[in-house]
Amino acid sequence: MVYADGGYHFFPISDSLKKHNYVYDNFVMQDDGEVVYMDDTQEIHSAKGIDVSRHQGEIDWDRVGGNDISYVFIRAGYRGSSEGKLVEDEYFEDNIKGALDNDIAVGIYFYTQAVTEKEAEEEAEFVLDLIEDYDISYPVVLDLEETGSDTARTAEMTKEEYTKAAVAFCKTIQSAGYTPMIYGNLKTFMIMLDMEQIEEYDKWFAYYDTPVYLPYDFAIWQYSSRGSVGGVNGDVDLNVCMKDYLK
């Protein structure tokens, strides 16, 4: 069940899609607000991470590195929602250099407004050009969310169009030797995209409540948008990753 567009949408659970095997009670919130995933012996099987963009401003990466942050997803850029211009995040270079200099593993995300497969491929190539000189050990992510604006260039897109664009981005990233991933919320995965067509790609799920309301497999859970991490001014997204991308 998904609440969107002023109403509830009900979806049967598909037998053909891979389910996750997480035990909800094994997601444990620590005293500092960090969520970890434990097994029955209390051994932790997850990694703590954040995601950042220009919205966090200048970051003190030396301090971030002392907060047990294992990885960070850094926004490479975005496509404008009206004219569709590709824009590099103004803090991208500072953030990626700061994270890597402090031995924090890096993943990348790009906020899409592609309306065609060609535009999605263009977005992927834009990202690949930006990251070619850096060590990227976590996935390269397509950030797919509804803008909420009736005037956005994506406002009239169908599920088929969203899905084709997402697959085009992921294929381009994969062909370049990186791990592609799709970021989204319940509406992204249940309404905007055809899950069967994106089954092979890792997923990063944003959901700020418990239990995690998605039966299908995902690798990363973004569980808060109001986290606090030393070295970052203001709120920052907090993530728990259950997949070891550093193997």
How many helices (H) does the chain have, and how many strands (E)?
5, 13
In sequence order, the 6+-apart residues with CB closer than 8 A to the CB of 64 are: 50, 72, 98, 99, 102, 104, 229, 230, 231, 232
- When mean pLDDT is compared over 65-69, 81-85, 238-242, the highest value belongs to 238-242
Structure tokens at 246: 């550093």
Return the domain boundaries, the chain.
Answer: 23-241
31 pLDDT higher than 80? yes
Confidence of residue 117 (pLDDT cuts 50, 70, 90): very high
121 pLDDT higher than 80? yes
- Helix residue ranges, H only, 132-175: 159-175
CATH class belonging to 23-241: alpha beta
Over pLDDT 90: what percentage of the chain?
A: 84
Beta bridge partners of 106: 72
pTM of the model: 0.95
